[in-house]
Amino acid sequence: MPGMIRLVRVAAVTLVAVAVGSGWSTLASAEGSLQSNINSWATGRESRSWNDRNGDDWVTALEMKYCSSNAPSPAGTFNLYRELRGRPDPKYGERSYGNACRGNRMQRGQWGDQRSGKYHFTLVKIYGSGSPPSWYRFSAGWMQVHY
């Protein structure tokens, strides 16, 4: 039996090492995070800002659950921006959230490892349109940013 227990322990340690090495690890390794909700945002609305010191070589990610909208579909598209003084903020691409984050299902969008700086995200589209009817709103009962 002692040989069997050792074999099980070695297998468990190997499985954990493979999981971490292959990207199965969670965003708990991120340098920081902020958690909030999105309540009835129109396009153009910005999140609060955060400072990424890039001390962790980890991705910037936005996670959402409980997504809803008064548009025909609960689809919201967000851009990540790096804030620069006296110059336009560069954007780092769009990530869309919709039916996959309805209810308790979490949806994650990632922008890769970002360099040091101050960042925010902006709601740029609702229901696939950057110019939706003015009354369209997007909500997410839970959202978390990892940086």
| Full pLDDT tens readout for the chain, 147 residues | 555 454 444 444 333 343 334 344 445 567 899 999 999 999 999 999 999 998 887 899 999 999 999 999 889 999 999 999 999 899 999 999 988 888 999 999 999 999 999 999 999 999 988 888 999 999 999 999 999
pLDDT of residue 29: 62
Residues 6 and 1: their CA atoms lie apart, in Å, by 9
DSSP bridge partners of 83: 118
Task: Let me know how many helices (H) and strands (E) the chain has, helices first.
Answer: 1, 8
Is the sign of the CA dihedral 100, 66, 121, 42 positive or negative? positive
Neighbours of 80 (CB within 10 A): 26
Helix (H) or strand (E) holding 6: helix 2-21
What's the pTM?
0.76
pLDDT of residue 36: 95
Residues 60 and 111: their CA atoms lie apart, in Å, by 5
The answer to whether 98 and 85 are in contact (CB under 8 A) is no
Residues 62 and 81: their CA atoms lie apart, in Å, by 13
Instruction: Supply 140's token pair.
Output: 């997410």
